């Protein structure tokens, strides 16, 4: 996280090691590694709300996914990603970028929307900074939707 705070890339080899430990056979080590990944890496990156933080978080999550895939529990995920030709970090990051790029809905598509689900971290900061503005925009863009 020190490297990220200085605008550098995250040392992904540490992410691989922590992910392997979280997936390993020792319950105590699994718990500590999972707690470290979430509490000390993922959560702070998500709270960063900067472009750099999002980019680093994406790389960390993709690294975790690619570390999980070769394991017995990850076999099904790996098959799905192979079918989609998403087998390396760059292809997964490109796919994420494509899917997260803003797209306009046609009037017919807007009318077809019946429900909108907005996920929230349920923290005051996230609610004020992110969730409330999203709700306002969705209400304006899709007034018929629940």
Tell me the per-residue pLDDT of 105-114, one tens digit each, with 9 for 90 and over.
Answer: 899 999 999 9
Residue with tokens 């689900």: 117
CA dihedral 6, 8, 45, 97 (to 10 degrees): 140
Contact 45, 56 (CB under 8 A): yes
Output the CA torsion sign for 45, 47, 52, 55.
positive
Rounded CA-CA distance 81/65 in Å is: 10
Does 28 have pLDDT greater than 90?
yes
CA-CA distance, 117 to 136, in Å (whole number)? 13
- Whether 23 shows a pLDDT value over 80: the answer reads yes
For residue 123, the model assigns a pLDDT of: 65
- Distance CA(11)–CA(3), nearest Å, equals 8
Residue 2 has pLDDT above 80, yes or no: no
């Amino acid at each position: 996280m020190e490297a990220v705070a200085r605008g550098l890339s995250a040392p992904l080899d540490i992410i691989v090691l922590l992910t392997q430990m979280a997936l390993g056979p020792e319950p105590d080590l699994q718990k500590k590694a999972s707690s470290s990944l979430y509490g000390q890496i993922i959560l702070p990156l998500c709270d960063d709300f900067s472009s750099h933080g999002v980019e680093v978080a994406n790389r960390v999550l993709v690294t975790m996914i690619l570390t999980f895939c070769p394991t017995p529990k990850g076999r099904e995920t790996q098959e799905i990603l192979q079918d989609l030709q998403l087998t390396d970090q760059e292809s997964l990051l490109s796919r994420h970028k494509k899917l997260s790029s803003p797209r306009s809905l046609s009037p017919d598509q807007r009318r077809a929307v019946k429900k909108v689900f907005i996920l929230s971290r349920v923290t005051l900061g996230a609610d004020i900074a992110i969730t409330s503005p999203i709700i306002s925009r969705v209400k304006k863009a899709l007034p018929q939707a629940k």
